[in-house]
Amino acid sequence: MIYGSLYNPRFGRGLSPALANILNTVRQYDLPGLPLGRHEIDGDRVFMNVMELMTEPAESKRAELHQEYLDIQILIGGEERIDFGLPNSWDNSDPYDESKDLQWLDIKRSPQTLNLTPGMYVIFFPLEPHKPGCQIAEPKNIKKVVVKVHYELLL
């Protein structure tokens, strides 16, 4: 997991060239003005999902896990808490859905929390469980971009 801000004056330093290039490409978009839905950057290898949602109590949500794609979660508006766990910190009873690259699970050991404000991003690599869309103090409407990056681009 990597956590940062698009507004950092030293943005991108220390990231792999592939991730730095993808984030620099995303920064060129008018993120607040993007319509909801899917926006392709490089076909199925890199694409963005723009969404609006109401945050909810963390206890009412389940974590997600991916095997093929990294998630770059960028908050555009509002405030959001994202809970996450380390590899093998979860219990899962739901099967992995290969067509959606998604498995629902519950983080059971040593859950961690991040609070995002607009312009902040977090990168979750495959097999890093995360629970986005959680409220910080009370439910809030948020707008965010989730950039999906196929792991092969980092090899």
- Show pLDDT as tens, one digit a residue, over the chain (155 residues): 999 999 887 888 889 999 999 999 999 999 999 999 999 999 999 999 999 999 999 999 999 999 999 999 999 999 999 999 987 788 877 999 999 999 999 998 888 999 999 999 999 999 999 999 999 999 999 999 999 999 999 98
Closest CA to 60 of 134, 113, 140: 134
What was the pLDDT predicted at 103? 95
Decide if 37 contacts 50 (C-beta within 8 A): yes
What was the pLDDT predicted at 9? 78
**How many whole angstroms separate alpha carbon 139 and alpha carbon 69?**
28
What was the pLDDT predicted at 109? 87
What was the pLDDT predicted at 26? 95
What was the pLDDT predicted at 14? 87
What was the pLDDT predicted at 130? 96
Own/partner long-range contacts of 94-97 (Cβ < 8 Å, ≥24 apart): 96/65, 96/67
Closest CA to 72 of 99, 108, 112, 41: 41
What was the pLDDT predicted at 120? 96
